[in-house]
Amino acid sequence: MSVKPTVLKLGGSVITNKAKTLTPSLPTIERLTKEISRANVSPLVLVHGGGSFGHPLAKRYAIKEGYRKGDASQVLGFCETHQAMVTLNKLVVDVLIQNNIPAVAVSPSSCVVTKSGRISTMMQELLKRLLKNGFVPVLFGDAVLDSDLGFTILSGDQLVAYLAVRLKAARIIMGIDVNGLFTGDPKVDSSEHLINHITLEELRRMLARIGESKVTDVTGGMLGKIAELMPAVEKGIPSLIVNATKPNNLYRALKGERTVGTLIERGEKTVVRKNQGKKI
């Protein structure tokens, strides 16, 4: 694979109706697929979130917290959570194929093991081969086996950053349901505004101020998203957060055109002189 891939996440809040359990947003999936098709970016890896498919079930059976010995209902809950994600994934992949995108479903529960919630092993060879042959692998946040916890929930966000680093991606694009990262909550203080560009160092200083999503999201909302992206940004992979609920934003982002959103880049490292603590 000579050209570096783009890793694109379609947020669960974008492709499902988060207020209604097991309800997809089919018109949005179709619109986004058309934008992806028009942008014609290759190689491309797609990851989608759980939205109203994975999250309510994961929460009901406390899958993220791990296996409670002897709790057979939780074991079935693992299966139900995974199966809900497979159902959503099938909807997404079907629409992609209908739009001539050579999408292949790759189920994380079949190729990833985590350790205390972090990816410890993943069969990457398969993904590399798929990309080399022009396919678009479509992964998703999933219920996965965990060597410490028995099982857990792997977020699509963790997967995105992991894949971007391992596949030496050119960039990450996160299509979510807000415009990006704000200096604060504009609903509380109207002077708070969207951050168009932020470096890692600026981000670290800001992190404490980012609130967690209020809706059911077992993997941490915006705070979790940003924290997951940071290791990839540290490796020099720029990450762009865009509002994929608004038509053409994703298309523009994929084409590298200017769009409303937040670009997180490594930026220049600030050198701190020893014993003085002064920035130079």
Q: Using CB atoms, what's the residue nearest to ligand IP8?
A: 141
Among 52, 155, 179, 262, binds ligand IP8 (CB under 6 A): 155
Among 5, 77, 117, 156, binds ligand IP8 (CB under 6 A): 156
Cα–Cα distance measured from residue 101 to residue 92, given in angstroms and rounded to the nearest whole number: 11
What is the torsion angle, in degrees rounded to the nearest 10, for the CA atoms of residue 28, residue 30, residue 32 and residue 35? -140
DSSP secondary structure letters along 174-198: EEESSSS-BSS-TTT-TT--B-SEE
Is residue 112 within 8 A of residue 22, CB to CB? The reply is no
Is residue 108 within 8 A of residue 142, CB to CB? The reply is yes
Cα–Cα distance measured from residue 130 to residue 124, given in angstroms and rounded to the nearest whole number: 10
Cα–Cα distance measured from residue 18 to residue 178, given in angstroms and rounded to the nearest whole number: 14
Q: What pairs with residue 242 in β-bridges?
A: 175, 261
Among 29, 55, 144, 261, binds ligand IP8 (CB under 6 A): 55
Check residue 172 for interaction with ligand IP8 (CB under 6 A). no
Check residue 221 for interaction with ligand IP8 (CB under 6 A). no
Radius of gyration, alpha carbons of the chain: 19
Check residue 222 for interaction with ligand IP8 (CB under 6 A). no
65 vs 201, beta carbon nearer ligand IP8? 65
Among 45, 143, 174, 263, binds ligand IP8 (CB under 6 A): 143
Check residue 141 for interaction with ligand IP8 (CB under 6 A). yes
Q: Considering the complex, what minimum distance in angstroms separates the CB of residue 153 from ligand IP8?
A: 5
How many residues touch ligand IP8 under the rule CB under 6 A: the total is 17
Q: Considering the complex, what minimum distance in angstroms separates the CB of residue 122 from ligand IP8?
A: 16
Number of other residues whose CB lies within 10 A of the CB of residue 62: 15
Stretch that binds ligand IP8, among 35-43, 53-61, 98-106, 168-176 (CB under 6 A): 53-61
Binding site for ligand IP8 (CB under 6 A): 12, 49-50, 54-55, 58, 81, 85, 141-143, 153, 155-157, 218-219
